[in-house]
Amino acid sequence: MKAVYFERHGGPEVLTFGDLPDPQPGPGEVLVRLQAVALNHLDLWVRKGLPGLEIEFPHIPGADGAGVVEAVGPGVRDVQVGDPVVINPGISCGVCEMCLLGKDNLCKQYQILGEHRNGTYAQKIVVPRQNLLPFPRGLSVEEAASFALVFLTAWQMIEKAQIQPGDWVLIMAAGSGVSTAAIQLAKLKGAFVIATSSQEWKREKAKELGADEVLDYTDPEFITKVKRITEGGPQVVIDHTGEAWWDALLKVLARGGRLVNCGATTGYQATTHVRRVFFRQLSILGSTMGSKGTLFRILRLLEKGKVKPVIHDVLPLEKARQAHERMESRKIFGKLVLTVPD
């Protein structure tokens, strides 16, 4: 099969478009012929190398994808060859306490496609049967390939934040896939949303997506403006930037506010002013992905037009290197999608 892979960590130049052996489905697994796949920031981190993450080379990145079933392994009876499907990127053991409680993203063996095992930048991929969703009605294959990881991540963050109608929600880095999903999901909860970006055109896009207010987080008056708009501070902050804005985000929260974090694009070594946390009764909540079952609810919202995937551009799979360069340039709003050759 054709695939994009790398044999050492580094910049976009390590990505190779070439031939790798076709994967074969084992018991309980399904072989999917992919038609479109989507980029996530996770792909960049894995390509560069993450502390403590050991992978086998050659490694295929990519968490998201959509296509059709090409073959099924022994024991799989409820999907058929030719069925259109979407990939759920979170892999868990399926038998531990957390999995059986429906909290499979807390499984000790939890993995994400393209990070801990080969991913979707390929013509074919093998996944467990439970990692397939029916293709959503009314969506293009590019849209179907782009929503799973970011909407799953944003959904759990919104749920952990316990957003109530009328809450103010500050969402950092509005142009990211997770943030475009979070803006829409927060609005569905009846919240008022402040979306942030250092680039004016992204702020305008966030407005079009539903944000009530938009701000430049590099503005020296950023904190003052947030407090003025919210009359004291937002009840919730949705963040994946990490170190650079950590102290400011804790400072801007209203009393009793909740900061939910799912990443650290600016660095991991943030300093927390502990007295501010306990005196103002703040909550700091970590979040990674979400349960498999949640994607069925997200799929229904997509089919009803309540939320939508946000795609910046579509390129062919062999242009994955250029797509990584574009994502690193931060000159995109939403997702980049790669179409897979037949």
Whether the per-residue pLDDT at 51 is higher than 90: the answer is no
Full residue range of the structural domain in which residue 206 is found = 151-286
CATH code assigned at 314: 3.90.180.10
pLDDT mean over 273-302? 96
Q: Which residues of 284-297 are buried (b: 16+ CB within 10 A; e: fewer)?
A: eeebbbbbbebbee
In a domain, 54, yes or no: yes
Whether the per-residue pLDDT at 211 is higher than 90: the answer is yes
* CA dist., res. 183 & res. 155, Å (int): 10
Whether the per-residue pLDDT at 178 is higher than 90: the answer is yes
Same domain (yes/no): 92, 217: no
Mean pLDDT of the chain: 96
pLDDT of residue 19: 98
Same domain (yes/no): 45, 127: yes
pLDDT level of residue 219 (50, 70, 90 thresholds): very high
Same domain (yes/no): 155, 213: yes
pLDDT level of residue 210 (50, 70, 90 thresholds): very high
Same domain (yes/no): 160, 77: no
pLDDT of residue 86: 98
pLDDT mean over 110-139? 97
In a domain, 161, yes or no: yes
Q: Which residues contact 300 (CB under 8 A, 6 or more apart)?
A: none
CATH code assigned at 243: 3.40.50.720
In a domain, 136, yes or no: yes
- Strand 213-215 to strand 192-196: parallel, antiparallel, or no bridges (unpaired)? parallel
pLDDT digits (tens, 9 = 90+) for 19-34: 999 999 999 999 999 9
In a domain, 32, yes or no: yes
pLDDT mean over 52-64? 95
Q: How far is CA 328 from CA 18, 175, 335, in A?
A: 23, 12, 12
Whether the per-residue pLDDT at 173 is higher than 90: the answer is yes
Helix (H, G, I), strand (E, B) or coil at 181: helix
Same domain (yes/no): 204, 237: yes
Same domain (yes/no): 331, 260: no
pLDDT of residue 165: 98
- Strand 168-171 to strand 90-91: parallel, antiparallel, or no bridges (unpaired)? unpaired
Per DSSP, 103 falls in state -
Same domain (yes/no): 205, 274: yes
pLDDT of residue 278: 95
Same domain (yes/no): 269, 321: no
Whether the per-residue pLDDT at 292 is higher than 90: the answer is yes
Same domain (yes/no): 135, 201: no
pLDDT mean over 150-161? 97
Same domain (yes/no): 181, 258: yes
pLDDT level of residue 305 (50, 70, 90 thresholds): very high
pLDDT of residue 265: 87
In a domain, 303, yes or no: no
pLDDT of residue 184: 98
Whether the per-residue pLDDT at 314 is higher than 90: the answer is yes
Whether the per-residue pLDDT at 58 is higher than 90: the answer is yes
In a domain, 296, yes or no: no
* CA dist., res. 330 & res. 342, Å (int): 30
pLDDT level of residue 87 (50, 70, 90 thresholds): very high
102-109 LR contacts (CB < 8 Å, sep 24+):
102/291, 102/293, 103/291, 104/291, 104/292, 105/156, 105/288, 105/289, 105/290, 105/291
pLDDT level of residue 166 (50, 70, 90 thresholds): very high
pLDDT of residue 99: 96
Same domain (yes/no): 332, 211: no
In a domain, 293, yes or no: no
Report how many domains make up the chain.
Answer: 2
pLDDT of residue 227: 97
Residue with tokens 């049967």: 129
pLDDT of residue 132: 97
pLDDT mean over 290-317? 96
pLDDT of residue 233: 97
Same domain (yes/no): 156, 262: yes
In a domain, 304, yes or no: no
pLDDT of residue 153: 97
pLDDT of residue 189: 97
With pLDDT > 90 as the criterion, what percentage of the chain qualifies?
95
pLDDT level of residue 215 (50, 70, 90 thresholds): very high
